[in-house]
Chain A
């Protein structure tokens, strides 16, 4: 039974990637996935050795062949994304790839080539295989690429007989996050004790409840505001999310990042490292992550 732990936060910059990397070191045998395809950073700590590189073909974009266009204006009238200029050129950034203009142009003067929207990779790292990706700049379909990364990570885990997938998730609650959490065994929600951290965690909890994925809450930089840390804990308990611990604010996070290593490799005796080890044990001990894969519906976020 393969279990997948997806690390999310709602708010960006709470420590998702640094903590995912540290978990990877503790997990021993796991497959890593970087589902933050928009601004992927996990590779900066993993120094992956890329073994397979594949183009990610996303949606199509319309292009008007000027020599066949009679400037009748039908496409401009149809386009709901205002992507066609007055002189009948498609603005690739605004084009949604719906193909309505392509199908309904009376002159059949619009092509619809499929776009390369990014790349994805299978790599080896010192902690096990890793699937990661790079979405092209200003591209769409990030949800599709996230789904692809997760699917490939699962295939790899099956192939290698690995029972744990660790996925570094994207911030926010939109399309890539929806693609990152559906069907996950559990979410590790990394929160910082700030009004923004709490607010954004509430929205992630709502999203997780919507998709019926259990949540485990870890408070990072917990000593920055102990009153807010308490409020987050109360909120988590109320929503039936399990508390898996606190990590104090520690500059070794930044130092480890600069060294390209995990907090545990860089400063194994630091307070942060000790706290991360404790959090990881709590995660493994939580009923949702049990190795038999028995679903416990009482753990669903309320």
Chain B
């Protein structure tokens, strides 16, 4: 079972839900932090990192001795990562999307495979809970290849919880793709509602069933609940605003640690998701 935690709007409580759900499941679960621009799960879990790997993306390297300046590489590149000036190829690695087109078209085999570091993937354990995170290199624009790398640690046999980045564009889609269920975390405010609508559209593009967690559920208005009713999206959990929870969060302490009764609520949440995803699978 692969569950992605997403939101549209940032700061609604994705990381809170992902970490508490994963901690409540414990043994046999693995948390993948795919919010690689700002990975925060580790701040709450303090995992012991046992393996670390630098993740790279293809960039072209030009062997000048073989290059004739024919410009074929620059012509195929849609991202303007290559340009030819006075018969010499200049490479702009930060613009390269790693498609390898230049490598294919060079008639002289003067383009060879190089690499650019896009970030680091770290994995380890938090007690019985498996943990993997990606950390984007500061200054790097392209996160999806790193997200896909972290995502490759999915395993259908175990319970996978993915903490997705905010937004609705390519990084979120890369994180959610292939999940069995998307749990959307929102707050009952106009911003929360507006961005939830966008997130639901993104989930529907991918054809994945989804459900809702309403965080700070007593601060705001009724718009999100009405929307959920209208769109037939089940509200699976509500977390009220409590200063105790907010303060624990600020210090990096999970809810289940200060209020152990929440662990059962998160396990119940997981059980309901299993049923919903199963029904969805059967209806498809």
Contacts and interface: CB of A to CB of B under 8 A. Distances in A.
A138 B173 contact: yes
Nearest to B253: A195
Contacts, number: 179
B53 interface: no
Nearest to B13: A13
A210 B98 CA distance: 23
A10 B38 contact: yes
Interface string A34-48: 000011010010000
Contact of A39 (B38, B43, B195): B195
Interface residues of A, number: 59
Nearest to B72: A103
B284 interface: no
Interface stretch (B22-30, B63-71, B201-209, B263-271): B201-209
A199 B101 contact: no
A100 interface: yes
B105 A210 contact: no
A78 B165 contact: no
Interface residues of B, number: 57
A98 B97 contact: yes
B104 A207 contact: no
A162 B11 CA distance: 33
Contacts of B100: 78, 80, 100
A100 B104 contact: yes
A78 B79 CA distance: 17
A194 interface: yes
A202 to B, nearest CB: 9
A216 to B, nearest CB: 20
A174 B8 contact: no
24 contacts: A10-B38, A39-B10, A39-B168, A41-B194, A59-B78, A80-B98, A98-B78, A98-B97, A99-B76, A137-B202, A138-B169, A140-B170, A171-B11, A172-B37, A173-B138, A174-B142, A174-B143, A174-B171, A195-B40, A195-B251, A196-B38, A196-B43, A257-B191, A258-B189
Interface of A: 10-14, 17, 38-39, 41, 44, 59-60, 78, 80-81, 93, 96-100, 103-104, 135, 137-140, 142-143, 170-178, 192-197, 199-200, 203, 206-207, 210, 224-225, 228, 251, 254, 257-258, 260
